A = this chain, B = another copy of it.
Amino acid sequence: MKNTVEFRSICPVATSLDIIGDKWTLLILRDMIWGHKTLFNEFQQSPESMPSKMLANRLKKLEELGFVSKRKGNLNKKSVYYLLEKRGLDTFPIMVEMAIFSSKHFFDHLGTTYTKEARTTMKTDRQGYISELVTNYKKFKRNLVI
């Protein structure tokens, strides 16, 4: 098992794909940003049912790359909290573009209900939407009692 990222070229798109180009990595960050999830078993509850082996593997990689940090609970010593760092938050614009793309082109497959206005907000005030969610996350992180 490899533990360092291999860069295939100096292309910025390829470089991003070398890091986040798989089916699971971004879903963890999605759950952190949109769902304020922090615990291993919270990530497991997501509708995509990430296998625990994959989850452990990707959390480790995300930590090594400085996307997230890991904190052992003080109150409950069995809990391990994963929190977003700046680098992790900076993947958010990529995910927003992904959301805009798939709700435009794969609309049928996504639930009509939540797609309609969510997409409108993202498109009409993309930067504002991003900023607000980032601000919210930071507040959540500040107030979190571990």
Contacts and interface: CB of A to CB of B under 8 A. Distances in A.
A97 B93 contact: yes
Contact of A94 (B15, B30, B98): B98
A10 B90 contact: no
A16 interface: yes
Copies in the complex: 2
Contact of A101 (B10, B18, B91): B91
Nearest to A18: B23
Interface stretch (A56-64, A103-111, A133-141): A103-111
A27 B48 contact: no
A51 interface: no
Interface of A: 7-23, 26-27, 30, 46-49, 87, 90-91, 93-106, 109-111, 115, 118
